[in-house]
A and B are shown apart, each in its own frame.
Chain A
Amino acid sequence: MQNYIWLIPFFPLVGFIINGLLGRNMNEKAVGVIGAGAALASFITALLTFNDLLGLSPEARVFTQTLYQWMATGNFGVDVAFRIDALSMTMVLVVTGVGFLIHVYSIGYMHGERGFFRFFAFLNLFTFAMLLLVMGSNFLLMFVGWEGVGLCSYLLIGFYYDRIFDETTGLTCAGAGTKAFVVNRIGDFGFLLGIFLIFATFGSLDFETVFSKAGASLATHEVSTGVFTAIALLLFIGATGKSAQLPLYVWLPDAMAGPTPVSALIHAATMVTAGVYMVVRCSIIYLQAPIAMEVVAIVGLATTVFAATMAITATDIKKVLAYSTVSQLGYMFLACGVGAFTAGIFHLMTHAFFKALLFLGAGSVMHALSGETQITKMGGLKKYTPTTFWTFLAGGLAIAGVPGLSGFFSKDEILWKTFLDSPALYVIALAAAGVTAFYMFRMIFSVFYGAPRMDAAVMHHLHESPKVMTVPLMILAVLSIIGGYVGIPHLNQFEHWLEPALTRFIPAGASLHAGTHEGSFSLELGLMALSVIVALAGIYLAYQIYLAKIGAADQWARRLSGIYNLLKRKYYVDEIYDALFVRPLMWLSENFFWKIFDVKIIDGIVNGSAKLFGGLASVLRRWQTGIVQNYAVTLVLGLIIILGYLLAR
């Protein structure tokens, strides 16, 4: 199977080409079949590869395939090569599996849209780029995929290019796409610097080479901690941009301008997790830079809390989920920061399941309500759209951390490892888990329970979504429920599967600083119980405020109006960025770079050199007097000079 791993990104690429070039003239069914079929073919190939990989012993579980040599100049050589080990296998399965389900869902959701073929083409292109990202065997190919998913994110967010997204700020959908791209770019700058530093330090960009040398440095200390810290922090800046952490998270809420399947696939399950994947992939570098790991943990935790608080007051159903995504990504980075890399990937996987489920469910709700997105105008959908309700509830319970579902196991793993590293961080993370449960069930209660608050016209068209949309929901619900059992404590198959891929670079006899904390099992059980209590408390609080008494929510909002407004206005972060960065930059561009630098200096040089020649010519022109004798004088003068030269020699 090793020689066929190139097929995994190849199928979506073919789907993109066919749908992109010919989709305009095909009917919806054909486009949908090609798009979803490409994803399915990728998934099946990935499953076969997984099967083969399982057959090998843990140390040998690496497939590599080099397609061709891309660049070779001097010391710098980069191949287009793929690497499948446990980590990338997990990512590939998540991307292709969840991706396939979302492709199927989109056939129903995007039915009748004007750019149907364009949507599927971009979706396939995104899948291709994401697979390049996770399967690339060197940093450069990963960066190509990184940029590719950024591009597809821009294309898909701005899919409804002729619509306004936010009426209050006037942000168009295309503008939201631009915002995402530009903010990502800022992160990419850090990423690129990190790649340069990696090349300067290790002389190569290939994962195997770099990580072997990094691992060897554990024992020999030939690369200083300072260099590792610098690399780690620079790469983390890139992760901040792509995975929407503080301070570069501002693009994700506005990315909800895109169609809901896009939010599910790109901004929940796959693209935003690229940062986490990258940090975990470079775990050997992070492990040797403790300061960087502290930074990662703190930034992750801060993001978790920050986003969770903003989700409490959001009223757009997709924005609640967007803040929730930012918050959960913070958990993943917290896990990486305390050294629990496998726990981070575990949460990535379960999060992909339930967050995609929640987004697709939200899409189903919007579909049923003819496009309504404000949860204040929803209610009582429980009896009108039962399938959506039950699957949504499953996702909500999973994310809240109710025991037995997948989210419980993954979140608890993170909390446990955080406690072992620093109890202070644990307390804050636990509180954030409670807030998560609160806002999640606030949304569920507002949407599905209580009295309907929809308009009459909307009520009239209320209907459950078609099978093509509800079947993926059901599959994802099943995965959300049972998906966590691979990682239960003490029988942690997931950890056994993933750990060798990360520790194979550590030479025998060297020691790790983080990630080796041990604690007693009873303590772990105790903490587990604590988190269950906190989650249930959150759900109860949401019930009290949003369901038990009508109007209780508004009362609380008035009582805490100061905090409420702050949260509702998203801490004014967008306004601060606008004033601090956007406006000065625009002013600078217009008044300095354009009016002075471009017009005066650059145009001045270009026009000036033309004027210089013109001036020179108008002076030299006077030589042509038209009087022959002057020319004769010049002739004689030249003759004298030549003769003089010959004589002097």
Chain B
Amino acid sequence: MQLPTLPKANTPSIQKFITPTIRVFMPLVYYLLLSALLFGIGVAGVLLRRNAIVIFMSIELMLNAVNLTFVAFAAHLKNLEGQIFVFFVMIVAAAEVAVGLALIVAIFRVKATVFVDEINLMKW
């Protein structure tokens, strides 16, 4: 479909400096390994920490590691879909954080603790 054409920006070619187009990237493997490491650190945080807030932050770290993978692939496969997907991941993460933190606040009101090993009402 035909978009209304924007007036040609009169900005100088500062844009070239601000957002230069990079044509050659680091090899993909490095990005993947890095995001894998970040993901692993996030998993360790989820499994090892007691504080619910810190666990939540570790989950955010995991999500971001995945985001990094997406963007890396988008760059290397020359496909914009990866970045679009990252956009949506961020939206979902935002909504999730809002609701999750509200939940933690609600639980705190009842149990007066944020330590997950003290919240075991579902124990058999």
* Chain A residues close to B by CB (< 8 Å): 621-622, 624-629, 632-633, 636
On chain B, the residues within 8 Å of A632 by CB distance are 46-47
Distance in Å: Cβ of A646 to nearest Cβ of chain B: 16
A624 and B47 form a contact (CB under 8 A):
no
Q: Across the interface, do A626 and B47 meet the contact criterion of CB distance under 8 Å? A: no
Given contacts A629-B46, A632-B47, contact A624 B123 (CB under 8 A): yes
Of the residues B46, B55, B120, contact of A625 by C-beta under 8 Å:
B120
The smallest beta-carbon distance between B87 and chain A, in angstroms, is 26
**Is A629 within 8 A of B47, CB to CB?**
yes
A629 to chain B, nearest CB (A): 6
Output the least CB separation between A628 and chain B (Å): 5
A599 to chain B, nearest CB (A): 33
- The answer to whether B47 and A628 have CB atoms under 8 Å apart is no
Residue of A nearest to B117 (CB): A627
Q: Is the CB of B116 within 8 A of A629?
A: yes
**Distance from A632 Cβ to chain B, minimum over Cβ atoms (Å):** 6
B114 CB within 8 Å of chain A? no
Residue A636 contacts which of B43, B55, B116, B120 (CB distance < 8 angstroms)?
B43
Q: Which residues from 46 to 79 on chain B have a C-beta closer than 8 Å to any C-beta of chain A?
A: 46-47, 50, 55
For the complex, give the distance between the alpha carbons of A628 and B124 in Å.
Answer: 13
A533, B55: Cα distance in complex, Å: 120
Chain A residues lying within 8 Å of B117, measured Cβ to Cβ, are 627, 629
**A-chain residues with CB within 8 Å of residue B24 when the two chains form the complex:** none
- Whether A626 contacts B46 by the Cβ 8 Å rule is no
Contact A622/B124 with A627-B117, A629-B116 known, Cβ cut-off 8 Å: yes
Q: How far is the CB of B117 from chain A (nearest CB, A)?
A: 5
B47 in complex: contacting residue of A621, A622, A625, A633, CB < 8 Å: A633
- List 10 additional A-B contacts (Cβ < 8 Å) besides A626-B119, A627-B119: A622-B124, A625-B120, A626-B122, A626-B124, A627-B116, A627-B117, A629-B47, A629-B50, A632-B46, A633-B47
A to B CB contacts below 8 Å, 28 in the list: A621-B124, A622-B124, A624-B123, A624-B124, A625-B120, A625-B123, A625-B124, A626-B119, A626-B120, A626-B121, A626-B123, A626-B124, A627-B116, A627-B117, A627-B120, A627-B123, A628-B116, A628-B119, A629-B46, A629-B47, A629-B50, A629-B55, A629-B117, A632-B46, A632-B47, A633-B47, A636-B43, A636-B47
How far, in whole Å, are A398 and B22 apart by their CA atoms in the complex? 132
8 tightest A-B CB contacts, nearest first: A626-B120, A626-B123, A626-B122, A624-B124, A621-B124, A627-B117, A628-B116, A627-B120
A627 to B116 alpha-carbon distance, docked (Å): 6
Q: Which residues of A contact B119 (CB under 8 A)?
A: 626-628
How far is it, in angstroms, between the C-alpha of A625 and the C-alpha of B121 when the chains are bound?
A: 9
A442 CB to nearest chain B CB (Å): 87
Q: Name the residue among A622, A625, A626 with the largest chain B CB count within 10 angstroms.
A: A626
List B contacts of A621 (CB < 8 A).
Answer: 124
- Docked-complex contact A624 and B46, CB < 8 angstroms: no
Q: How far is the CB of A630 from chain B (nearest CB, A)?
A: 9
Contacts of A624 in B (CB 8 A): 122-124
Interface size classification for chain B:
10 to 19
Identify the closest chain B residue to A628 (Cβ). Answer: B116
Q: Could you tell me the distance between the alpha carbons of A237 and B119 in the complex, rounded to whole angstroms?
A: 78
Contacts of A629 in B (CB 8 A): 46-47, 50, 55, 116-117
Main secondary structure of the interface of A (DSSP, over half): helix
CB distance from A216 to the nearest CB of B (A): 77
CB nearest neighbor in A for B59 = A632
Contacts of A628 in B (CB 8 A): 116, 119
Write the nearest CB–CB distance from A193 to chain B, whole angstroms: 58
> When chains A and B are docked, how far (Å) is the Cα of A638 from the Cα of B98?
29
Inter-chain CA distance A627–B119, complex, in Å, is 7
B28 → chain A closest CB, angstroms: 19
Chain A residues, CB < 8 A from B124: 621-622, 624-626
Task: Report the nearest B residue to A618, measured CB to CB.
Answer: B124
CA distance in complex: A105, B116 (Å): 94
CA distance A340 to B119 in the complex (A): 97
Contact flags B33-52 to A (C-beta < 8 A → 1, else 0) = 00000000001001100100
- Taking CB atoms, residues of chain A closer than 8 Å to B122 are 624, 626
Which B residues are in CB contact (< 8 Å) with A633? 47
On chain A, the residues within 8 Å of B123 by CB distance are 624-627
CA distance A622 to B124 in the complex (A): 7
A159 to B56, CA, bound (A): 85
Q: How far is the CB of B118 from chain A (nearest CB, A)?
A: 9
Residues of chain A within 8 A (CB-CB) of B120 are 625-627
The residues of A that contact B46 with a CB separation of less than 8 Å are 629, 632
Closest to A625 in B: B123
When chains A and B are docked, how far (Å) is the Cα of A346 from the Cα of B122? Answer: 89
* Per-residue interface assignment for chain B, residues 99 to 123, with 1 indicating a CB less than 8 Å from any chain A CB and 0 otherwise: 0000000000000000011011111
Task: Give complex CA distance A626, B119 in Å.
Answer: 7
Cβ contacts under 8 Å, B43 to chain A: 636
Shortest Cβ gap from A626 to chain B (Å): 3
Tell me the minimal C-beta distance from A592 to chain B in angstroms: 43
A629 to B51, CA, bound (A): 11
Indicate the member of A625, A627, A633, A636 with the most B CB atoms within 10 Å.
A627
Q: How far is the CA of A626 from the CA of B43 in the complex (A)?
A: 20
Complex Cα gap A86–B88 (Å): 99
Q: How far is the CA of A627 from the CA of B124 in the complex (A)?
A: 11
Shortest distance in angstroms between A608's beta carbon and chain B's nearest beta carbon? Answer: 24
Measured between beta carbons, the chain B residues less than 8 angstroms from A636 are 43, 47
Nearest-Cβ distance from residue B111 to partner chain A, whole angstroms: 12
Residues of chain B lying within 8 A (CB to CB) of residue A622: 124
Q: How far is the CA of A627 from the CA of B46 in the complex (A)?
A: 13
Cα A636 to Cα B120 in complex, Å, equals 20
- Report the minimum CB–CB distance from A620 to chain B (whole Å): 10
Tell me, in angstroms, the Cα distance from A629 to B117 when the chains sit together.
8
| A360 CB, min distance to chain B CBs, angstroms | 80
| Complex alpha-carbon distance, A625 and B120, angstroms | 7
Distance between Cα atoms of A626 and B116 in the complex (Å) = 9
Instruction: With both chains docked as a complex, state the minimum distance between the C-beta of A382 and any C-beta of chain B, in angstroms.
Output: 94
Closest Cβ of chain A: how far from B63's Cβ, in Å? 15
B48 nearest CB neighbor, chain A only: A629
- Bound Cα distance from A624 to B121, whole angstroms: 10
Assembled-state Cα–Cα distance A624/B120 (Å): 9
**Separation of A621 and B124 alpha carbons in the complex (Å):** 7
Question: How far is it, in angstroms, between the C-alpha of A625 and the C-alpha of B117 when the chains are bound?
Answer: 9
Contacts of B116 in A (CB 8 A): 627-629
Rounded to whole Å, the gap between the CB of A622 and the closest CB of chain B is: 7
